[in-house]
Amino acid sequence: MTVFARRGFLGATALAAGALAAPRLLLADEVTGTVRWVSPRGTLEVLDDYPYWVAKKYGYFGGLTTEIEGGPMEATATIKLVEQNQSDVGFPSPGVFSLGLEQGMPLKSAFHMGAYDVFSFAFRKGQKPAAATDLKGKKILLGSIGWQAICDPMLAQLGIEKGQVEYLEAGPIWGQALMQGQGDAALSWEGLRAQWGGQGLDFDYLLPYEFSKFPANSFVIRKADADDPGKQALYETYLRGWAMGLEFGYRNPRAATQIVMEQFPSLQLDPPVAVESMMQLAKVFRGPWESRQGWGWHDFAQWQLFFDTIHRIGQVSKPIKAEDVLTNQYIAGANTFDQAKVQADADGFALSDAFSGVDVAAIQARL
């Protein structure tokens, strides 16, 4: 069962009654229970969550009941809902995660989805600066002013300190606001970059691979759950479903994209645009694969660089130790799955005519 609950405020309790169930073993090693996941984007109608929809389609979550919701768009909602026990897994950016830690929220990152930084800066055509450091003095458009916590550390990598750029909140149409000349740049991210292009928002980009060494979004749970041995199997099983969905998407990006588009016909993206969006995200999720220990693995040194930077610029008042707030305890179990089954599922998916004609090699060359 998948439950969609749309909330416009943090106090809503539509999912509160479905508290995280303690797992119980059935036949062999099948685990059951309920895990509730909340997005940071205010909607589920995006390509970003393709591993989930693949996992649901193919039963990769096994005996678990999963609930997924869009959540409010407010920047810290995804972690507040986890802390308040209205959800079990949130998907914050590292900056938003750090804000929760600063506020004393007892949270832990359990699965690192974005091994590369996902965030970029968009510019009107011909106005991309010659160097990333030239962002100093610019007006940067954001969908939510809370996204400043994303931008400040990124800019600090470039030697641009707080107060040396101006942030302008433009709501859900911040991309259109950039096109209209209301700012010099706009925060964007992989996946959205392709979608903006498909909407006619044709920008030049300063890509994360060009300047950032930081991590991107991860799955955050309550520290009490991470410390509870009785929930180890539950989270391993849940995260295994995501890992299998990620693996499927890596092996057949057109199929993963088509699955999401069939789930949300209202997305209204041309298949080539949709596949490119998905592949931008998949590149971030896979990261530097040769140095990772599987899907979801945290590089503690990468995260420590981020935590040290945000402490230096005053985004958090106390130092954060990566080993205190990250865990790789679920990674081995999450990555123990039948690779041959995933390959067979990916190979056996029946692509529609529209998706079978998408040139994956050409997209790969643009990434």
Instruction: Write down all domains in the chain, each with its CATH number in brackets.
Output: 24-115+216-366 (3.40.190.10), 119-211 (3.40.190.10)
Range with the poorest average pLDDT among 55-59, 71-75, 111-115, 208-212: 71-75
- The pLDDT assigned to 72 comes to 84
- The predicted pLDDT at position 30 comes to 79
126-176 pLDDT, tens digit each: 999 999 999 999 999 999 898 888 899 999 999 998 899 999 999 999 999
Q: Evaluate the CA torsion angle 3, 71, 237, 49 in order and state its sign.
A: positive
pLDDT computed for residue 29 by the predictor: 60
Pick the range with the lowest mean pLDDT from 23-27, 98-102, 306-310, 344-348: 23-27
What pTM was estimated for this model as a whole? 0.86
pLDDT at 211 over 80: yes
Please, which residues bridge with residue 142 across strands? 169
- At 169 the pLDDT is 97
Query: 270-283 pLDDT, tens per residue?
Result: 999 999 999 999 99
Phi and psi (nearest 5°) for 40? -90, 0
